[in-house]
Amino acid sequence: MVKAFIFDFDGLIVDTETPWYYAFRDIYEEHGVELGLDLWSKNVGTSFEEFHPFLYLEQALQKR
C-alpha cells in the first residue's frame, strides 16, 4: 500500500538540470552553436518562456 508520494520539482532531491544542460550543450556543439551556461540558466525552473532551447537552436541554424 502506497502511503506517500514525493515530487521533486525544484531539484532538491535529484539534480536534473545539470545533465539536461550537458545534453543540450552537446547537441548545440554538434551543430556548431554555443550554448553558454548564462543562456541556459534563463530556463532553469521556468516554462521556457524566456529561453526555449529547441527554438533557439532552430533560429540559430536558420541565421547561417
* Active-site entry in 10, 15, 26, 38: 10
Clarify whether 26 is annotated catalytic: no
* Active-site entry in 8, 15, 26, 38: 8
**8-39 burial by CB neighbour count: b if 16+ within 10 A, else e?**
eeeeeeeeeeeeebeebbeebeeeebebeeee
Clarify whether 38 is annotated catalytic: no
What residues are labeled active site?
8, 10
